[in-house]
Chain A
Amino acid sequence: MFNFTIRRLILTIPTLLFISFVIFLIVKLSPSDPTGNLPLTIPAEVREQIREALGVNQPLIVQYLKWLQQFFWIEPLIYLENATGWDLGAGDATRLISYQTRSPVMDLIMQRMPQTLWVVGTAYVVGILIALPIGVISAYKQYSVFDQVGTFVSMVGFSVPPFFSGVVVIVLFSVIIPSDSFFWLPSIYDTTHRVTDWDSFVYQFRQMIMPVMVLALQITAQISRFTRASMLDNLNQDYVRTARAKGLRERTVVLLHVLRNSMIPVVTVIALGIPSIFGGAIITEQVFKVNGLGQLLILSIQGGDVPTVQTLTFIFAILIVLFNLIADILYGLLDPRIRYD
């Protein structure tokens, strides 16, 4: 297992290099002008100077290597310096700068990370916690009323996109319900809000309800269906009959023997879905005005902010590769039949 992990980690290097190059090319080759958003009054020769200063006139390969160096070397070095207080000589190196805001891309990302992690991460956890019992019960009581309702709700969760369900809950809870009612919920996520006491905690809780609900609906639909299918697969296996023939309680049979086997693919799917916490909630963040990573990506695309788009996309790619590896390792840990070495 250890050797396997090392081998796979080494293999991720060429994979990531290739992905980074493709991302770089796609973003670079898109017909977007970094000075396009500047006021029209700026004369052409000044624009040219700005382009020169941004380095966009250099050969592509030079720009690519510079970006790599900044991403993999200078930025980590700066974070290390800030964290430890040592002087590693990164102080005057040029950082990855956003065209739009003129501030370092990494700082932008770090500012927005907590909002995304809070809202989308909570939704993911909530979704899983709801999905697992639903999946287990619907499989065990296949075709029961519970299962039928579960199937219907999952269908809805699958087929209704968040930009629709988001608007529906906003209309319901922020518009129709009067704002002095207990059930009224804020439709805009206030990221400047700080939790300092009980009341501010309650407010934070309330403003998270709607975005979390919308996202969790999707996640619950997916994971509960998957859990159900996996449980059904296993409930019909011969070893379940053996477990019953031993005189074990039904609860032990289902929650120990069957569930332990069913969780192998489910855990893998959950691990593979984690990168989407960072990137997948783009639409939902937009609907509820959560200024997280998804919103940052959309604004940067609209503003032709090449460094930010490149860097964000590449970070999502790294997360996907990383969690693929983690899923593989988890699979090996959970299933004794799999031996990678």
Chain B
Amino acid sequence: MPRGDLSDQSADLSALQPVLDVQNLKTVFKTRSGEVHAVNSVSFDVKPGELLGVVGESGSGKSVTMMSLIGLLPSPPADVKDGRVIFDGVDLLKADAKTLRSVRGGKIGFVFQDPMTSLNPVFTVGFQIAEPLRKHMGLGKRAARARSVELLELVGIPDAARRLSDYPHQFSGGMRQRVMIAIALACDPKVLIADEPTTALDVTIQAQILELIKDLRQKLGMAIIWITHDLGVIAGIADRVVVMYGGQIVEQAPVKELFGNPQHPYTRALLETIPSVRGPREDKLNVIEGQPPIMGAAPTACPFRARCSFRHDRCDRENPVRRTVGPGHDAACFHEFSHGA
């Protein structure tokens, strides 16, 4: 599916049936020091071919949300308590282990944060790429090898055929992340979930990986969920953005709308923390004062209230639900910001 200008597309995207539809997802960890409500009633969807950005400070529940979707969290301590995850007409939370395994690595590909530790050190890269191919596509040894070479070339690894017999430690960090992407894309997934795939890499490599993903998206047309704590990255690639805080989605909007007209105090604060290259140099980096909360119980008040400068009395009594504030745009805040302010 060739794509044109992204912002033009976001309008017709909303008419499409979502490829992945998450409703009211709740995940609780039972630890010795009590419960941690890491994900609280999270709902979002992804349209075919869409790139959904998920932002939030670390600890806001981004990874736990994505791992809950396809049962990747060890249980105990994790307990996915509630919600529905509709993918391909099936609720993944109710699916049996076999169905779930066929989705994982088959129709939903995963790329993780740390490429240095995410590959198994004792198996060759060729073996690790071939695993999902043999498992989900039933390829034989030679076919799997041919496809592996193709995949490595696709993600821009030079001399692909020879490198199949190399071990992960023989690759640099950026190259290893390319291998991870090749593994995730091996079976032509409908959705690629990338959990902070560039966070562990240095800046120039980050840019290369971003370019690669943009390019792959153009070629393959899968939907992508891109998790990051960096709004700057999201601005360049996403169609739509979901902002998470304290295990909840606090705002959701098309990318231009979110940057132009943020409606949640947390989003506004995040936008202010992006240092600007142009304009006068500021003496101090903007930071959001305070710490993100660790949710010991299901929230009964706004999780952001302690750090919020628009706090109302109501914020202590009630947890705001997301309300529509613009076209395709909703925010979970009682405060009404004037448009464009």
* Chain A residues packing against B (C-beta within 8 Å): 237-239, 241-249, 257, 260-261, 264, 334-337
B71-121 residues at the A interface, CB under 8 angstroms: 72, 100-106, 110, 112, 114, 117-121
B254, CB-defined interface residue at 8 Å: no
Q: For the complex, what is the distance from the CA of A334 to the CA of B184, rounded to whole Å?
A: 27
28 contacts between A and B (CB under 8 A): A237-B117, A238-B112, A238-B118, A239-B118, A241-B72, A242-B110, A242-B119, A242-B183, A243-B131, A244-B104, A245-B104, A245-B105, A245-B110, A246-B132, A246-B135, A247-B100, A247-B103, A247-B105, A247-B106, A247-B136, A248-B101, A248-B105, A260-B120, A261-B120, A261-B121, A261-B122, A336-B121, A336-B169
B44, CB-defined interface residue at 8 Å: no
What residues on B are CB-neighbors of A260 within 8 Å?
120, 122-123
With beta carbons under 8 angstroms apart, the residue of A242, A248, A334, A336 that contacts B118 is A242
Q: For the complex, what is the distance from the CA of A180 to the CA of B135, rounded to whole Å?
A: 58
What residues on B are CB-neighbors of A242 within 8 Å?
110, 112, 118-120, 180, 183
What residues on A are CB-neighbors of B118 within 8 Å?
238-239, 241-242
* Chain B residues packing against A (C-beta within 8 Å): 70, 72, 100-106, 110, 112, 114, 117-123, 131-132, 135-136, 167, 169, 180, 183-184
Contact A238 B169 (CB under 8 A): no
Contact B120 A248 (CB under 8 A): no
For residue A293, give the distance in angstroms from its CB to the closest CB of chain B. Answer: 37
Contact A238 B105 (CB under 8 A): no
Query: Among B102, B122, B183, which residue has the most Cβ atoms of chain A within 10 A?
Result: B122
Q: For the complex, what is the distance from the CA of A243 to the CA of B112, rounded to whole Å?
A: 12
Contact A337 B114 (CB under 8 A): no
Q: For the complex, what is the distance from the CA of A290 to the CA of B115, rounded to whole Å?
A: 56
Q: Given the interface contacts A246-B104, A246-B105, A247-B103, does A257 sit within 8 Å of B120 by beta carbon?
A: yes
For residue A266, give the distance in angstroms from its CB to the closest CB of chain B. Answer: 13
What residues on A are CB-neighbors of B114 within 8 Å?
238
For residue B306, give the distance in angstroms from its CB to the closest CB of chain A. Answer: 33
For residue A125, give the distance in angstroms from its CB to the closest CB of chain B. Answer: 25
What residues on A are CB-neighbors of B70 within 8 Å?
245
What residues on A are CB-neighbors of B117 within 8 Å?
237-239
Chain A interface main SS type: helix
Closest to A337 in B: B169
Closest to A260 in B: B122
Contact B119 A247 (CB under 8 A): no
What residues on A are CB-neighbors of B104 within 8 Å?
244-247
Could you list 11 further interchain pairs (A-B, Cβ under 8 angstroms) beyond the known A239-B118, A247-B101? A238-B117, A242-B120, A246-B183, A247-B105, A247-B106, A248-B105, A257-B120, A257-B123, A260-B122, A336-B121, A337-B121
For residue B195, give the distance in angstroms from its CB to the closest CB of chain A. Answer: 10
Contact B131 A246 (CB under 8 A): yes
Q: Given the interface contacts A237-B117, A337-B169, does A244 sit within 8 Å of B123 by beta carbon?
A: no
Q: For the complex, what is the distance from the CA of A247 to the CA of B167, rounded to whole Å?
A: 21
For residue A81, give the distance in angstroms from its CB to the closest CB of chain B. Answer: 47
For residue B93, give the distance in angstroms from its CB to the closest CB of chain A. Answer: 17
Q: For the complex, what is the distance from the CA of A241 to the CA of B73, rounded to whole Å?
A: 9
Q: For the complex, what is the distance from the CA of A337 to the CA of B166, rounded to whole Å?
A: 11
What residues on B are CB-neighbors of A241 within 8 Å?
72, 112, 118
What residues on B are CB-neighbors of A248 within 8 Å?
101, 105, 131, 135
With beta carbons under 8 angstroms apart, the residue of B120, B122, B123, B183 that contacts A334 is B122
Closest to A243 in B: B120
What residues on B are CB-neighbors of A337 within 8 Å?
121, 167, 169
Closest to A245 in B: B110
Q: For the complex, what is the distance from the CA of A334 to the CA of B104, rounded to whole Å?
A: 29
Closest to B71 in A: A244
Q: For the complex, what is the distance from the CA of A264 to the CA of B120, rounded to whole Å?
A: 13
For residue A254, give the distance in angstroms from its CB to the closest CB of chain B. Answer: 12
Q: For the complex, what is the distance from the CA of A91 to the CA of B14, rounded to whole Å?
A: 98
Closest to A257 in B: B120
3 closest A-B pairs (Cβ-Cβ)? A246-B105, A247-B105, A247-B104
Closest to B108 in A: A245
What residues on A are CB-neighbors of B123 within 8 Å?
257, 260
For residue B338, give the distance in angstroms from its CB to the closest CB of chain A. Answer: 44
What residues on A are CB-neighbors of B135 within 8 Å?
246-248
For residue B35, give the distance in angstroms from its CB to the closest CB of chain A. Answer: 19
For residue B259, give the distance in angstroms from its CB to the closest CB of chain A. Answer: 31
Contact B105 A249 (CB under 8 A): no
With beta carbons under 8 angstroms apart, the residue of A243, A264, A334, A336 that contacts B167 is A336
Q: For the complex, what is the distance from the CA of A337 to the CA of B120, rounded to whole Å?
A: 11
What residues on B are CB-neighbors of A264 within 8 Å?
122
Closest to B101 in A: A247
Query: Among B100, B118, B184, which residue has the most Cβ atoms of chain A within 10 A?
Result: B118
Closest to A336 in B: B167
What residues on A are CB-neighbors of B120 within 8 Å?
239, 242-243, 257, 260-261
For residue A48, give the distance in angstroms from its CB to the closest CB of chain B. Answer: 66
Q: For the complex, what is the distance from the CA of A274 to the CA of B110, rounded to whole Å?
A: 44
Q: For the complex, what is the distance from the CA of A261 to the CA of B122, rounded to whole Å?
A: 7
Closest to B113 in A: A238
For residue B225, give the distance in angstroms from its CB to the closest CB of chain A. Answer: 14
Q: For the complex, what is the distance from the CA of A249 to the CA of B136, rounded to whole Å?
A: 12
Q: For the complex, what is the distance from the CA of A238 to the CA of B177, rounded to whole Å?
A: 13
Query: Among A245, A264, A334, which residue has the most Cβ atoms of chain B within 10 A?
Result: A245
